[in-house]
Amino acid sequence: MPYRLLRFALNKKYAEPPMFTEPSKLKKSYDVVIIGGGGHGLAAAYYLARDHGITNVAVIEKNYIGSGGTGRNTAIVRSNYLTAEGVNFYDKSVKLFLDLSTEFNLNLFYSERGHFTLAHTDSALRTMRWRAEVNKHMGVESVLVDRAFIKEIIPEIDLDCRHNMPVMGALYHPPGAIARHDAVAWGYGRGANMRGVEIHQNTTVTGIEVKNNKVVGVKTNKGLIQTNRILSAVAGYTPSITKMVGLRTPIVIHPLQACVTEPMKPWLNAIVVSASFHLYISQSSRGELVMGASLDPYELHSTRSTLDFAEGLSGHTLELFPFLSECKILRQWAGLSDMTPDFSPIMGKTCVEGFYIDAGWGTWGFKATPASGKTMAFTVANDQNHEIIQPFNLSRFEQYELVGEKGAASVGH
């Protein structure tokens, strides 16, 4: 038996140190307060400490770290977007992901699988070609492939879809990957905490103090904190936080549901997405199929699962993989997605001095985690938008400079 296991078995306490230490009280003031202890907030805290030497930072999380979108997504990483701005940003994220396990000394089970976006219509094929060309131009590996190529990599797929919208081809993106999503939050949290950042769980922000258009403090259920730099990184709650400083965003919140099946022997190496069938599917390292569909088609600020989702998703899964008819869904859940009109995020400085925003991630917040952390840390540290997030500033909605990314959505939203 490995020695580490024996240590656990014989020790009255945990043999491993906790991932981070949590102070019992908030300090009176911090250089930076980050609202939201998901991957994005923790990554920003980590890079603030590591790259900019700013360690007097509190991350305020109303629940436990990674309890929101970070632990609820389907853990897909890719950079095969439609716009040059999007490809540039997500490519930075993919590159950062590659080294994270080593950097954190924590296995994120990052696994490159190759990502197929299936096209069932001429117009979908045209969009895939367009994406492939933009990707190649930006140095990202993506190519349009035919049915024979898909079948060779995924022999189990029924490309005729039981004669309902046969697959015509696909966008193939070899760097597409999956990773263990909650470990990303732990890695960033531990790394930030080791450098002096405080993480306060079960702490709710109840207000933000603004004087002369500058932030001066954060009110919480555990007391008032003075600070003149606040980063809001809270998927699902952005409108409640921005209201506290008098800002409006065009964000609307929709639930996104997902599920996993019982574990099976490994058979699906690739990640498969079909916008026409409202389906994405991959197989985790534990053998479960991880699957999701489109957003629920109504605004709702709660995470509940529906039978309707499970029925719709199962039907579509069987069109592509009829042999799964006996496979059981094991568990089902939902997360909250902050949707913007152009499907691009809202990042950077705002017109309230010292108030920075990282929001509007829709259905792709997880894959953005490293790049959003790195660029938001730069932005907060220098009070200047990092150049690669400049196109995503909140002011783009007033200036009609949208970054239309809907064509890169995994499923039709």
For ligand PYC, the closer of residues 178 and 225 by Cβ is 178
Distance CA 222, CA 200 (A): 10
Instruction: Give 45-78 as a DSSP string.
Output: HHHHHHHH----EEEE-SSSTTTTGGGTS--EE-
Stretch of 73-81, 129-137, 209-217, 351-359 contacting ligand PYC, by CB under 6 A: 73-81
Among 48, 58, 76, 150, binds ligand PYC (CB under 6 A): 76
Give the end-to-end CA distance of the chain in Å, rounded to a whole number: 50
Fill in the amino acid letter for 80. N
Q: How many CB atoms lie within 10 A of CB 224?
A: 14
CB of 267 to ligand PYC, least distance (A): 20
364 binds ligand PYC (CB under 6 A): yes
304-333: buried (b, 16+ CB within 10 Å) or exposed (e) per residue?
eeeeebbebbbebbbbbbeebeeeebeebe
Choose between 20 and 90: whose C-beta lies nearer to ligand PYC.
Answer: 90
Q: 117 vs 238, which CB is nearer to ligand PYC?
A: 117
Q: Which is nearer to ligand PYC, 76 or 134 (CB)?
A: 76
Binding ligand PYC by CB under 6 A: which of 74, 79, 340, 372?
A: 74
280 binds ligand PYC (CB under 6 A): yes
Contact in structure between 413 and 297 (CB atoms under 8 Å): no
* CB-neighbour burial class of residue 84 (10 A; exposed 0-12, middle 13-18, buried 19+): middle
Q: Say whether residue 410 binds ligand PYC (CB under 6 A).
A: yes
Please state the closest distance from residue 184 (CB atom) to ligand PYC, in A.
15
Task: Examine residue 283 and tell whether it contacts ligand PYC (CB under 6 A).
Answer: no
Q: Is 78 in the site for ligand PYC (CB under 6 A)?
A: yes
- Residue 242 · residue 357 · CB < 8 Å: yes
Q: Based on the shown chain and the rule CB under 6 A, indicate whether residue 135 belongs to the binding site for ligand PYC.
A: no
Smallest gap from Cβ 136 to ligand PYC, in A, equals 19
User: Of 280 and 355, which CB lies nearer to ligand PYC in the complex structure?
Assistant: 280
Q: Which residues of this protein are in contact with ligand PYC, per CB under 6 A?
A: 74, 76, 78, 280, 292, 363-364, 410
